[in-house]
Structures are given as C-alpha cells and as structure tokens.
C-alpha cells in the first residue's frame, strides 16, 4: 500500500508540473500523447491545462485578477514544495522545471501481470536549448540529492531510476515526451512502442480517446468483448470515452458509448419523434426526461428494463395474472415517445409520465381490458375516477414482501388516464389533473418554460433528452436533505441558495452516431455568480455535515493558513539569500530584513496562536546568517518554527518550540530547502543542527 501511495504521489507531482508553463509549440499530428499509449492499456486519463485553450480562456473570464493571482501563487508554492520534497531538493522551479513543461499529461493504466502492466505517466515537454538545459539541471540535482540514479538506457533512451520509495519508478525522456512509471517493463513497452518503425496503429483506448472533443479532462476505457460480458451489461458495448470542457456560459461534458457494428446499425434504424408526449407535461415541472423510443432502444442493447421495473414495483404476484394485458399495452406505448417529469411542491414532490400510443384507436379499449382483468384480483384495489370527460382510474397495491417482517410496507397508488391518444400515469391526483389540463390546452406545457431547450432536437439525431430548472431542482434537493438532516426552514433556504450558486439550467441529450451513442451534458452557468462559489461552499458543507464537521474543517483550514505562512517565510528567506551572498537572514531583526520580500505582515501570526505576541514564528538561531551551501541536509534542517518567545524578531531553538492546542498535537515546521510539514511527536535533534550529516 505504501508503494502504491508513493506511486501516486510522484504521479501527482508530475501532473502538477505539467501545469507550469505555456505551450511554446503546436502539438504534432498525430497527437504524440495518444500515439505513445501502449497497446494493452485499459484506461487513460488526459489532463489539458494549456492557457490558450478555450476552457482556460473561459475560466479566465470568470475570475477577478485577484483570484487568478492567488491561484497562480498557490500553484507555484505547491509545485516548489513537491519538487523539493519528492524529486530534487534545491531544484529551482522557474529555471529548472517550468521551461521544459507544457500543460498536457496522460496517465495510462495497463493490466499488471507476468508480461507488461502498471502505471505510466506521459508528459509533453517543450523543445529548445533552454528547456533541455533546465531538464538536465533538474536530473543532476535529483541525482546529487540521492533521489535518482542514472541507469542503462531503455530501448536506447536515457533513463533514471528512483532509489527511494517507490523503488522501481523509472523516468525517461524521448522526443517530446517524458515517460515515468512503474514497474520498469511498463516504461519499456511505451518506449519500444514509440521507437517502432513504422509507427504502430493507435491502441484501442487511444482510438476511443481520440473521438472525444478536447477539454480540460478526457478519459477513456476499453471493455471486454461482448461475449465475455455478464448478462446484466449492455450488449455490444466495447469502450467508453468522455471529456469535460468549459465554455463562456456553460460547463459541458461529452461522452461516447462505443458499440459493436450490429448495435450501431440497429440504433441508426430507429426513427425517434419528439413533442408528442412532452406536450402533456405542465410548466410547473422542475425536471423532464424524454425518451424517443425506449422499448426498441433497450432491446437493441439487450437490457430488459421494462421487465425489471415491473417485477421490482409490482412483484410476480401482480405480473402473473396481468402480464399478457400489460404486455399489449406497454409494447405499444414504449415504441413511441415517453416523457417523465418531477413536479415539486412546498410539501412534497409528485411525478408524472405521459406516453403516446402508436395505435391510438386501440389504446382506450386495451386500458379498459386491463382494468377489467385486475378487478377482484387479490392485493389490488381499482377505482374509476374520471377527470371531467377524460376516463381515469386509480389502482393501489401492497409492495412485494409486505407483512413478512415486523414492518409492513404501505400500499402504493398510481393514478392513470387516457386523454388524446396518450396514457398519463401520476403519483397523485393533482399531478394527473395537471397533465390532463395541459393536454387540453388549459395550462402551458413545459416546452414554454424559460429553462426548457427552445431548439427541438432533430428527429434523426435525438434519442433521449433530459433537462431541468436548476433553481427548482436545487430547492427540491435541499428539501430532501433537510428532511433527513432535520434542518429548519431558513437552513433549507440557505442550502438551496448554496447549491444553485452560478448554475441556471441543465440539459442532457443522447443520440446515436457513427461510433455508438453520443451523450452531451450542458450545465448553464452564470459567471459572476460562479465566481462567488467559494463563499457558498462553507455554507453548504456546514448545513449538510453539521456543526462538528464544520468546526473540524475550520481547524484544518487554520492549520493550512499556518503552513502557508511558513512557506512564504521560507521563500522570503531564500530570496533574501539570493540578494545577500547566499546567506540566510541574521538573528537580530530578521523580520525587518525579510519584510521587503513579503507584502502582508499577517503571515507572521499563526491563526491558532493563543499568546498575545506580535509574531508567532522564530528563526532557528543555528542557521542565522549561515550560507546555504554550508547546510549539509537542507531538507532536514529547520529554518522557521512556531515559538513561545515574545521578541519582535524571535530567534531560538527547541527549548522555545510552541505546541498550540489548535493544531491538535501537530507542530508546523519550515525547512531550509523551502518545504513545510505538520509534524506529530518528538522532533529529531539533528533537525536543529545545520552541520548534522
């Protein structure tokens, strides 16, 4: 487990490094990242953080300059800490790391086994003399620090290997790609694949990824052959791929379900229709799902959805005597459009389903036949209840298994009507009446609502359409949560506002294409409100998790502030040393000496320090005014620490170390290489001695 954790730490380090510098050269064609994916890869995730991408430009439009500056500063601090703590202590971020990195990286997972398997990270690099020199300096620094050792070339490519956990982690640089991973055969397979002449065809998972549009994040996975899939899985499904991107006023996720040729041809033969059933959904709905022809759709994929739902809801005892009649009714209705809607109200939420018959003349007689077949059947109660001139009924039944235990399941009731060649099903009488009124023209349909997509999906392209009014849906979700968390009405309102900050509408559309089924999720956003999302998250978290959890989160946040303070002090000390012959600041007046290198004096105070001192941090007097080159182990030598000293420029040693209760047993320490930790337990004596070997 420790080895796996170390693998992911190094993977995260390299992924974060990939966010460091603007792309300086256009990517080659074909895409070098996709071409490098090994043939046995089962999954690949690609991150694209290039600042000139459409998603990055859209994000910049949502941020204030102050927010963007804070994000950049935080990212650089994190990169510097990871670079010095995990890969190469003493590495210079601006000179050694950022010049050779672009902002794209792909993580590949392949099956581990006697042949080749493991995790391989592919990172785009930028060419040029400066970039090459920076990469060489980084490798030399890592070797000198004892983190990497040069090894024999792999497939003719220079390589390095980690000598600290995780052992076996290998780095190699070939062309425009940095290849890193474990075990070694996985890296060897990638490099052999890259150097093959002629270039091999794209791996199946890379082919799937290549069919998704570019975005901040893309992911693809291949699946076993259809014959090897279980009966519950979709028939003919071979791969999945998805991407996420940001637009000026929307967050878009787009995915493809890759199907075998037989299933693709069957889906393409379907002739969906829209607008027939959805015409019976009132504009009071908060969310709507429209399926063009769900029966043939699920049949093509080999999924017995209708049978599974009927057995779960009604149970075998009801299905057996009514199965033949139900089959006649629903085989007709499921071959046409079906619309499902949620209708929230202040005290509860109703649902309404409208279904259009393919053979209108036979719909009412078959429903009447169903009612007649159910009369007198044990466990069912049928009641005729017309809605004006529209034939309508209700049927109640006990849930399967009722009475078999101490608790008795309450009966369920469905209300249904036949109006204008459509069957309406509803959870309660008001919802049924609303549907009948909408079909009769007494109420506006949901298609007239502001949040419903105005452009009707093309008949030859759309199979499924789901859309929602984000505000109404957020209030419903908040009410659902509040009933279980026992929140007051003001808290429910706060939670609803927090949930819908910046979000306006949501639309999901699925349709067949040349590869299988293509689905596009579009969430409409309001950029000014989205920019204030950070202020709403604590409200939502506190209401959903409760006060104790919020208190723990606040404590963790304060510890993070203390960690950030020490990072900035360590960085200021390094900047001072660069200007003063590589010497650290003196013991006397070090605060005044470092003030030109940090703007905010608030970093000198820990937020959980209970003492009334002006400054919470002290300089280790053993390193005061010492040249950095004379510190034997900078990554294990304390530079700044929390102190009990009241001096304006505290400078001391272990005897005045402060352990604040607000840190829950941890003490925050900054080291001479710039990294900061929250340490638990006793502090080794050699951490205070710059000459310790």
- Which helix (H) or strand (E) is 238 found in, with range? strand 237-247
Query: Do 623 and 574 reside in the same domain of the chain?
Result: yes
Rounded to two decimals, the pTM is 0.63
Alpha-carbon distance 503 to 527, whole Å?
9
Query: Do 127 and 199 reside in the same domain of the chain?
Result: yes
Task: Of 16-20, 71-75, 378-382, give the range with the top mean pLDDT.
Answer: 378-382
Whether the CB-CB separation of 213 and 48 falls below 8 Å is answered with no
Domain count for the chain, please give it. 4
The predicted pLDDT at position 386 comes to: 93
Answer yes or no: is pLDDT of 235 > 90. no
Residue 456 lies in a domain: no
Query: Do 281 and 425 reside in the same domain of the chain?
Result: yes
Query: Do 533 and 557 reside in the same domain of the chain?
Result: no
The predicted pLDDT at position 41 comes to: 85
The predicted pLDDT at position 523 comes to: 83
Beta carbons within 8 Å of 680's beta carbon, 6+ residues apart = 665, 666
Query: Do 201 and 265 reside in the same domain of the chain?
Result: no
Answer yes or no: is pLDDT of 182 > 50. yes
Query: Do 399 and 264 reside in the same domain of the chain?
Result: yes
Query: Do 153 and 102 reside in the same domain of the chain?
Result: yes
Where in the sequence is the domain holding 89, given as residue range(s)? 2-244
Residue keyed to tokens 């000496």: 593
Q: For residue 241, name the pLDDT band (cuts at 50, 70, 90).
A: very high
The predicted pLDDT at position 527 comes to: 63
Query: Do 651 and 540 reside in the same domain of the chain?
Result: no
Percentage of residues of the chain with pLDDT beyond 90: 18
Q: Which of 517, 545, 573 is the last residue of a domain?
A: 545
Q: Which of 449, 478, 495 is the last residue of a domain?
A: 449
pLDDT, average across residues 193-206: 81
pLDDT, average across residues 109-124: 71
Q: Which of 497, 529, 545 is the last residue of a domain?
A: 545
Query: Do 109 and 201 reside in the same domain of the chain?
Result: yes
Q: What is the pLDDT of residues 7-63, one digit of tens each?
A: 444 444 333 333 333 333 333 346 778 888 888 888 999 988 887 788 878 877 776
Query: Do 357 and 275 reside in the same domain of the chain?
Result: yes
Residue 277 lies in a domain: yes
Residue 312 lies in a domain: yes
Query: Do 502 and 426 reside in the same domain of the chain?
Result: no
Residue 249 lies in a domain: no
Smallest Cα–Cα separation from 119: which of 169, 172, 182, 41?
A: 182
Alpha-carbon distance 219 to 223, whole Å?
14
pLDDT, average across residues 321-341: 75
Residues present in the chain in total: 693
Q: What is the pLDDT of residues 541-586, one digit of tens each?
A: 444 444 444 444 455 556 677 888 888 898 889 889 888 888 999 9
Beta carbons within 8 Å of 138's beta carbon, 6+ residues apart = 87, 88, 91, 96, 97
The predicted pLDDT at position 430 comes to: 93
Residue 211 lies in a domain: yes
Alpha-carbon distance 548 to 605, whole Å?
26
Alpha-carbon distance 303 to 271, whole Å?
20
Residue 30 lies in a domain: yes
Residue 251 lies in a domain: no
pLDDT, average across residues 383-401: 82
Q: What are phi and psi of 668, to 5 degrees?
A: -95, 130
Q: Which residues of 493-517 are buried (b: 16+ CB within 10 A; e: fewer)?
A: ebbbbbbbbbbbbbbbbbbbeebbb
Q: For residue 483, name the pLDDT band (cuts at 50, 70, 90).
A: low
Query: Do 570 and 660 reside in the same domain of the chain?
Result: yes
Chain-wide mean pLDDT for the chain? 77
């Amino acid at each position: 487990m420790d080895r796996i954790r170390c693998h992911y730490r190094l993977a995260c380090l390299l992924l974060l490094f990939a966010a460091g510098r603007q792309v300086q050269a256009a990517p080659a064609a074909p895409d070098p990242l996709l071409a490098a994916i090994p043939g046995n890869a089962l999954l690949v995730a690609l991150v694209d953080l290039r600042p000139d991408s459409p998603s990055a430009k859209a994000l910049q439009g949502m941020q204030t300059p102050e927010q963007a500056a804070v994000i950049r500063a935080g990212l650089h601090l994190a990169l510097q800490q990871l670079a010095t703590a995990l890969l190469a202590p003493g590495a210079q971020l601006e000179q050694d790391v950022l010049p050779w990195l672009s902002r794209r990286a792909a993580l590949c997972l392949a099956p581990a086994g006697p042949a080749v398997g493991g995790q391989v990270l592919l990172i785009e690099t930028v060419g040029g003399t400066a970039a090459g020199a920076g990469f060489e300096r980084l490798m030399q620094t890592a070797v000198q620090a004892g983190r990497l050792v040069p090894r024999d070339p792999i497939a003719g490519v220079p390589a390095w290997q980690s000598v600290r956990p995780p052992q076996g982690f290998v780095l190699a640089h070939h062309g425009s790609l940095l290849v890193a991973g474990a075990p070694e055969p996985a890296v060897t397979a990638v490099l052999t694949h890259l150097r093959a002449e002629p270039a091999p065809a794209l791996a199946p998972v890379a082919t799937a990824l290549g069919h998704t549009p570019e975005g901040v994040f893309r992911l693809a996975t291949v699946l076993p052959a259809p014959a090897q899939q279980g009966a519950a899985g979709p028939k003919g499904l071979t791969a999945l791929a998805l991407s996420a991107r940001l637009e000026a006023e929307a967050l878009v996720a787009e995915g493809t379900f890759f199907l075998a040729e037989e299933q693709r041809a069957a889906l393409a033969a379907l002739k969906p229709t829209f607008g027939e059933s959805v015409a019976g959904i009132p504009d009071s709905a908060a969310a709507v799902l429209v399926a063009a022809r769900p029966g043939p759709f699920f049949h093509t994929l080999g999924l017995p959805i209708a049978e599974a739902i009927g057995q779960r809801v009604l149970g075998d005892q009801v299905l057996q005597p009514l199965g033949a009649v139900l089959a006649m009714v629903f085989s007709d209705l499921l071959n046409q459009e079906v619309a499902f809607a949620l209708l929230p109200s202040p005290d509860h939420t109703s649902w309404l389903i409208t279904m259009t018959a393919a053979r209108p003349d036979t719909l009412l007689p078959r429903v009447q036949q169903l009612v007649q077949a159910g009369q007198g059947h044990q466990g069912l109660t049928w009641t005729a209840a017309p809605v004006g001139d529209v034939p309508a009924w209700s049927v109640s039944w006990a849930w399967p298994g009722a009475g078999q235990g101490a608790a008795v399941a309450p009966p369920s009731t469905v209300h249904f009507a036949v109006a204008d060649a459509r069957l309406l099903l509803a959870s309660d009488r008001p919802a049924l009446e609303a549907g009948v009124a909408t079909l009769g023209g007494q109420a506006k349909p949901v298609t007239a609502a502001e949040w419903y997509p105005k452009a009707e999906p093309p008949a030859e392209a759309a199979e499924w359409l789901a859309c929602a009014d984000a505000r109404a849906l957020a209030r419903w979700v908040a009410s659902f949560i509040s009933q279980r968390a026992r929140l007051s009405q003001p808290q429910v309102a706060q939670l609803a506002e927090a949930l819908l900050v910046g979000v306006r509408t949501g639309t999901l559309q699925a349709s067949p294409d040349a590869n299988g089924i293509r689905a596009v999720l579009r969430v409409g956003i309001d950029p000014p409100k989205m920019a204030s999302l950070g202020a709403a998250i604590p409200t939502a978290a506190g209401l959903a998790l409760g006060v104790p959890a919020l208190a723990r989160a606040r404590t963790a946040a304060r510890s993070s502030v203390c960690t950030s303070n020490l990072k900035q002090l360590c960085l200021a000390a390094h900047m001072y040393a660069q200007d003063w012959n590589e010497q650290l600041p003196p013991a006397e007046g070090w605060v005044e000496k470092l003030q030109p290198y940090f703007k905010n004096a608030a970093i000198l105070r820990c937020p959980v320090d209970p003492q009334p001192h002006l400054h919470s941090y002290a300089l280790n007097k053993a390193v005061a005014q010492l040249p950095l080159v004379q510190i034997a182990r900078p990554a294990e030598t304390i530079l700044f620490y929390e102190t009990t000293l009241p001096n304006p420029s505290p400078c001391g040693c272990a005897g005045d170390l402060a352990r604040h209760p607000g840190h829950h047993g941890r003490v925050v320490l900054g080291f001479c290489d710039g990294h900061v930790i929250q340490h638990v337990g006793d502090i080794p004596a050699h951490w205070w001695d710059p000459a310790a070997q």
